[in-house]
Structure 1
Amino acid sequence: MSVEFEVRALDVETWPAFAELVEANNGVWGGCWCVGFHVKLGKGRTPQQNREEKEARVRSGDTHAALVFDGEKCLGWCQFGSPEELPEVKSRRLYEKGLTELPDWRVTCFFTGKGLRGRGVADVALGGALVQIGQLGGGVVEGYPEETDDRKVSGSFLHTGPMAAFENHGFTRTRPISPHRWVVTRTV
């Protein structure tokens, strides 16, 4: 029996379910609250500041994510947005070295709650993000997944998504930006 998940946009109505999942998981990566691609996280920034930043962005419409729900429970998400909305990228030097043109959209991070992993949430979330991107006008979409190459990888390294999920959704490897991370692209 397969479970049917529902994908909803992160907005003021879904914020409470999103916040509940983040709070149940120590603020995600120790308090990021999924703002690490919006702003440079550094010393002196608190989890509470990150929470307030994220909630303000949700209220103003300056953040996007495809949230995966099982009933009314949020299981995880895929964050996406324009380069202006999500200016921070990992491996920036190598990213910029091969950059010829900015994409219209970036898929920057994934999260699935503890005890909820291994159910295909990242794959469903990415599919939902692509649908939302299409509804917002589409264009060139870029992601930065981790290639596991049959090696065991900590979930913290997979925050930019697993390569298999991107390949399942028609992305093409464009260029490497670290030993196991790639820029992948697809047009929606």
Structure 2
Amino acid sequence: MQAKDAESTPDEDVDLRVRRRLRELRVSKGMTLDDVATRARIDVSTLSRLESGKRRLALDHLPRLAEALAVTTDELLREPEQADPRVRGSAHTRDGATYWPLTRQGPAGGQHAFKIRVSAKRNTPPAELPVHEGQDWIYVLSGRLRLVLGERDFTIKPGEAAEFSTWTPHWFGAVDGPVELIAIFGPRGERLHLHN
């Protein structure tokens, strides 16, 4: 038995590109497989197999699929545009801490990362420490962070990380000067820290 060549042929590249583009266009237009299949006059199982690569694309499929998706055949054949990987978002300041988003507000397992600068003035915990569902993770970049977890009080130094259940009453602030850190919050933690 001959080993299969690791490099793909130009035909396979086009087939793969069209499959990806087909799904990308269908999803971006909010269309189901059934919607596109009906408009393209193709059986839905055929369309599903085309998208998944279980069936090769035939030339007569292209114009019908392009028409069903309201694009030109050229648009269906072209390389998909690469999304801008940069994360853009405005900073939020609340209770002596400024939060810069490091992840988009899309699916990231529900987790969102932030760079945070804690003012030296944020050094006294509130009378009642917040509690919410989830898990928080922090990594201190500079300064010394005070982390209060229930009755326990910790000083987290640069290069140290902490992970904790947010069912535990918690708060963080500065020890003796400003602190910079990276934090990962679940959706409830993000709402609590940035919006409450």
TM-score (norm 1): 0.24
Higher normalized contact order (CA 8 Å, seq sep 6+, divided by chain length): 1
Larger radius of gyration: 2
